[in-house]
Amino acid sequence: MLTLHHHPISAAARFARLALSEYDVEFTPIEQRLWERDPAFLTMNPLGTLPVLVEDARPAICGYGPVSEYLDETRGTMARERRLMPEDPFDRAEARRLVDWYLGKLETDVTRYLVRERVEKLFMTHEQGGGSPDAGTIRAARANITYHMQYSEWLAGTRSWMGGDQMSVADLAAAAALSCLDYIGEVPFDDYPNLKDWYSRMKSRPSFRPLLADRLRGLQPVPHYADLDF
């Protein structure tokens, strides 16, 4: 029995949902609004990050890195050609680097700010930091996205999948992060044809359907968000 603490617009939590789904693992989702700083959640994960995975009342597995490795160890190694981690240690290092890239660097350069300003502030009280989005923060985050788009376009244009010859956690991390930004229309896919083609492939996977069905109360996604021919 698995429980996943997540939020629909958290890139790292979307990554965990994709990985669980790719391995056909059923789980109970529990939505966490980090800005509410729920004491029970912070006791479970003092880091205060998502995702948090709990299996069979064992200690919580906290954060995208530990969750990714745990799923590989307990599901991936038995999944044969559907394993989300490459066999070669150098290829695994590259997959992990890209997971850190999309859920670490892109998150701190871009995603965190755009999601907070444009989404989370809608749901926060004044005391929690809610209010009008900060135009300067949004401008800075949008300026940062170009570099990430160029790098992603290069990856998508020179490799079959983001991490190399096979689909891996690198693709799930990239797609999870970009899907959060795409919900609010912040990804200029039309300028990056190889990236768009790769994202179209990711979007068509059954594991992606629950993400495309996500709707935040009071904030509809852009029209093309769930469109497979965007």
Measured from the CB atom, the residue of 89 and 218 that comes closer to a second copy is: 89
Task: Please provide the size of the chain in residues.
Answer: 230
Beta bridge partners of 54: 3
The verdict on 214 binding a second copy (CB under 8 A) reads: no
- Give rounded-to-5 percent helix, strand, coil for the chain: 60, 10, 35
What's the CA gap between 202 and 218, in Å, rounded? Answer: 27
Q: Which of 33, 37, 97, 224 binds a second copy (CB under 8 A)?
A: 97
Query: In angstroms, rounded to a whole number, what is the distance separating the alpha carbons of residues 138 and 118?
Result: 8
Paired strand residues for 6 = 31
Distance, in Å, from the CA atom of 127 to the CA atom of 98, rounded to the nearest integer, reads: 36
Residues 126-165 touching a second copy, rule: CB under 8 A, are 151
Binding flag, residue 225, a second copy (CB under 8 A): no
Rounded to the nearest 5°, which phi and psi values hold at 8? -55, -30
Give the binding range for a second copy (CB under 8 A) out of 101-109, 130-138, 167-175, 192-200: 101-109
Binding residues for a second copy, rule CB under 8 A, total: 26
105 scored as a contact of a second copy (CB under 8 A) = yes
Does 58 interact with a second copy (rule: CB under 8 A)?
yes
Q: Are strands 61-62 and 52-55 parallel, antiparallel or unpaired?
A: antiparallel
Give the x/- contact pattern for a second copy in 12-41, rule: CB under 8 A. ------------------------------
Q: Applying CB under 8 A, which part among 2-10, 60-68, 119-127, 213-221 lies near a second copy?
A: 60-68
According to CB under 8 A, which one of 39, 40, 80, 90 is a site residue for a second copy?
A: 90
Q: Cα(130)–Cα(78) distance, rounded to whole angstroms? A: 45
Residue ranges binding a second copy (CB under 8 A): 46-47, 58-59, 61-63, 65-67, 69-70, 73-74, 89-90, 92-94, 96-97, 100-101, 104-105, 151
